[in-house]
Each structure stands twice: as structure tokens, then as C-alpha cells.
Amino acid sequence: MELLYGPIRDYAWGSRSAIAELQGRPVPSDGPEAELWLGAHPGAPATVDRDGVRVSLVDLLLAEPDYWLGERVVGRFGCRLPFLLKVLAADAPLSLQAHPDSEQARAGHAADAARPDGPRNYVDPYHKPELLVALSPMEALCGFRDPARSAEVLAGFGVPALEPVVAALRAGPAGLREAVRALLTWPADQRDGLVAAVLAAQVAGPDAELARLLAAGYPGDPGVLVALLLHHVRLAPGEAIWMPAGNLHAYLRGTGVEIMAASDNVLRGGLTPKRVDVDELLRVLRFEVLPDPVVRARPVAPGVVCWPVPVEDFALHRVTVEPGGPAVPLPLPGPRVVLCRAGKLTVDDGAGTVTLGPGQAAIGTATAEPLVFSGEGEAYVATCGPSGQQLG
């Protein structure tokens, strides 16, 4: 095991306390700290210490892929770490967004590369499914809810201009595409009036409160109304949400551990000053109802839980070592990235040991030896999937 040093992304919606508190730094931080990246994505790779010099994890993997990744991972994913582990800390809503599947990402990346200039949608040829586990109480929008319920909510505002959208939603899932397209392509000169009419309606309840929250940051953005078609999820610590390809979602506030395929492909639909490509977003969205976006932790061994997801790129486990309790083994092959959430933990992968405090991370090589956790505390461990299997 070797200590891993992750960069912090300073997006405007980030918290000035959550990541700093986790790492034991002064609060508030000098500016917003939105995401701590612990991986080898070229956009912001983590580093490892080599004789006092921080070396990019990307360079290390390329130089010794079999040592760091192993033949199995290289054969399946190439000379790259297929997952990216993050700490995400939101003090304000993120954009409405979705991510492509593998085929869409490859085709989109190739099409972007073939154009000599112009905007780009696909910075990577890879898909980007995501799992987020709440560390604090967390709110998010995730997946389309029952269109009948959405129709009832929009109709309740009593705004005549929304009647065609309400009618589309009353047609059930078959009308979702029409409803979303109508809202996202609403005439630009009429958007302020539409959102203002919704806010002026004498309506109480969580949906009206959500509309007011989003409109405070993005007045006149039709994404305020698209958000009302989604599940408004409130996660307790330890609960998770799963965001497969084509799932429209947005984080609203809170802190969580996020793991995803190592890609930065994002198609935005609103609630952002960044570029929005409505046509491309509509092309990748899956207009289907998501019955329950919440993923509950599954115990897989003493002191170990996971959140099962149906991908091979990543798996996430949480290891808890009780004070005075026995060491906890985690018999999963490398590569493995470990983030200490609390306490003080010693981690041994058979090739070396590290001791981690809160907010510190480490990476283990492709050795098949189990990780062994001792001391006391809590850690999140990212590996390649599949997840959910019982550990022996």
C-alpha cells in the first residue's frame, strides 16, 4: 500500500467545510471545495510520492500496468484504472445531467474528435455509471418518477401554458420524452414568465419548495420544472443512489462518497451556467420510470458492507473496525483504493502497510493478497466489480 494524494476540484457549488473537516484542515476553506478525486483520470489524477516528488498515478500505471493493475484488469480495460473514487460535497444544486452508455460514449468521442473545432460533448470514449453513498444527510434528484404524479404536481400550479406538458405526462411513460423536450426547448423569451408563474402560484408542499430552491439560483431556467419530473431523494448516511447510463439526475446538497467509471462525460440539461446540448441529452436519456433509486447497504462479511451495482468497472465496500475488535480482512484482488473516513487504520496488502487518518487515502497494487484492516475506524474501498458477492 502507498499513500495516495488526491486533487480537490473547486467548482462553485462546493462546500467550504465538508472536505476540509474530513481532512482536518481549517474551516472555512479559502474557497469552495466540491470534489476530492482519488483516481487516475487524466483530468485530475492523484499522485504518489517518489523520493519526495509527487508522480502522477497515470504515469505510474502506464509504466507498470501489470504491477498496478494486473493482467485481468489490463485485459478487460486496458492500461488505465477503470474507476474513480471521489468525495463530493455540495452546498448548492448541481446541474441536471445524464451520462452516456459505452456505445454512445465511443461513438460520440469519435465524432467529436473528427471535428476540427467546435464544442465537445464527449471528453472520454467511456461510459460513466455512478454510485453515491451519503456521508451526511443528502438530497438529490434521481430518475423519472411516475408521470401521473408529475402531471398532478404541474397541474396543481394552475399555469395554462403547462397544459400540453401535463397532457403528455398523463399519457404515462410514453409521454415523458415529449414532456421533457417541451420544457427544455421552451422559447427563450418566455422562460422567465413560465417559471415566474409557477413560483407565483399559491401552492405549498415539497415540490413547490424544490421549485423555489432551484429558481433562486437559476431564475428562468426550464430545468426548474424538469426537476419536478424526478424522484426527490433524501438519503440518510449509509444509503446510496445508483445512476446508470441515461438516468437524469442532480445532486442538491450534502456530502457523499461517489464511485464511477473513470470518465468525465456529462450531458447537461439545465441548472448550470455551463453548456447545455438539449438534442444530445435527449438522445441519451432513457425515458423510463425508475421505481426506487435508493440502494441499501448489503452485509457481505463481518465488518464489511457493499452496495451492489450491475457493472464490472467498480465496486465499493465499507470496512468498519471496532475499537478493541479483531482485524478485518477484505479478500478482493487489486487494484484497490482506500479512503479513511474516521479513526486511525492500518492497512496491509501483503506487499506493504500504511496507516491512515481521516481524509487520507492509499492505493494497493494488483496483488491478490487480502487487504487487512486493523486499529479502529471506517474506510471505503474501491475495487473493480462485480460487487455484492459474499466474501469468504
- Which residues form the catalytic set? 268
Residue at grid coordinates 451519503: 134
* Whole-Å CA distances, 292 to 135, 208, 241, 243, 295: 20, 22, 9, 11, 8
- Reduce the DSSP state of residue 65 to 3 states and report it: helix
CA distance 110 to 73: 24
Grouping H, G, I as helix, E, B as strand and the rest as coil, residue 255 is strand
State the cell numbers at 118. Answer: 467546435
- Contact between 37 and 46 under an 8 Å Cβ cutoff? The reply is yes
End-to-end CA distance of the chain: 22
Angle between helices 147-156 and 176-184 (to 10 degrees): 40
CA–CA distance, 360 with 340 (Å, rounded to integer): 6
Q: Are 130 and 280 in contact (CB under 8 A)?
A: no
d(CA 153, CA 162): 11
Cis peptide before 28 (omega within 30 of 0): yes
Q: Residue by residue, what is the 3-state secondary structure of 102-124?
A: HHHHHHHHHHHHHCCCCCCCCCC
Please name the amino acid found at residue 182. Answer: A
- Please give the Cα distance from 361 to 347 (Å, whole number): 10
Q: At what angle do helices 147-156 and 163-170 cross, to 10 degrees?
A: 160
3-state SS assignment for residue 167: helix
Report how far residue 221's alpha carbon sits from residue 250's, in angstroms, rounded to the nearest whole number: 15
